[in-house]
Amino acid sequence: MLNENSNLADKVAFIFKTFEIDKLEMMQMFAGQDSDLKNKVINTYDDLIHYCYQVAGTVGCMIFPILSKNNNLSSIRNKVIDIGIAMQLTNILRDIHEDAIRNRVFIPDQLLVLFKVNKEELKGRKTKRNLKKLIAFLSKKALFFYESELEVIQTVDSFSAKFSLKLAIAT
C-alpha cells in the first residue's frame, strides 16, 4: 500500500500494477527524452513525427488506461498517439524562437531546406515570409493530427476525466 512516505519507484510500480500500461511505451518515452538530452538533430519530417510520438504519444498511451475504465487502448491507440503528436507539434511551434535561442531546433533540417529557412532566422524577432510558410505547413499537420480528438474523448467514460482531457488538449 502506498503512503506519503512511498518513494518514486514504489509509486511507479503501483501504477503499473494497477493499470494496464505497456512498459514499451515508457521505454520509447525514455528514448525521446534521451534524444532531447543529447540534443539530437531532427533531419526529416518522419524523424519529427517519431520524436513527437516518443515524447508525447507515449504519454497519451500511458495515461489513457488511467483515464478510461474501458481500458480498450488497442482499438484507439493510433488516435491517442495522433493527439500526442498534435500536442507536441503545437508545443514546438509555440516555442520555436525560445528553443532556437537555446540552440534547440525541433524543425527538421529537411523542412528548413525545403522552405529556405536558416536556423539563425528562428532566433530573430521578425518572422520572415518563408518561416511563416513553414509554420503554416506544420500547423496544418498538427490540425490533421488533432482530428482524432473527439473520438479519443468519447472513449473516456468519466465526466471529470473527459473534462481534464479536453482541457489538456485545448491548452
**What's the mean per-residue pLDDT of the chain?**
90
Distance CA 20, CA 12 (A): 13
The pLDDT of residue 171: 67
Residues 6+ apart with CB under 8 A from 69: 157, 158
The pLDDT of residue 18: 84
Q: Which of 82, 79, 66 is nearest to 161 (CA)?
A: 66
How many percent of the chain have pLDDT more than 70?
97
The pLDDT of residue 5: 77
The pLDDT of residue 70: 62
The pTM of this model reads 0.88
**Model confidence pLDDT, tens digit, residues 7-34:** 888 887 888 888 878 889 989 999 999 9
3-class DSSP state of 45: helix
Cell of 4: 506519503
Confidence band for 102, pLDDT divided at 50, 70 and 90: very high
| Residue 141: other Cβ atoms inside 10 A | 18
**1 pLDDT exceeds 70?**
no
**Model confidence pLDDT, tens digit, residues 123-159:** 988 889 999 999 999 999 999 999 999 888 888 888 8
Listed range (33-37, 40-44, 117-121, 152-156) with the worst mean pLDDT? 152-156
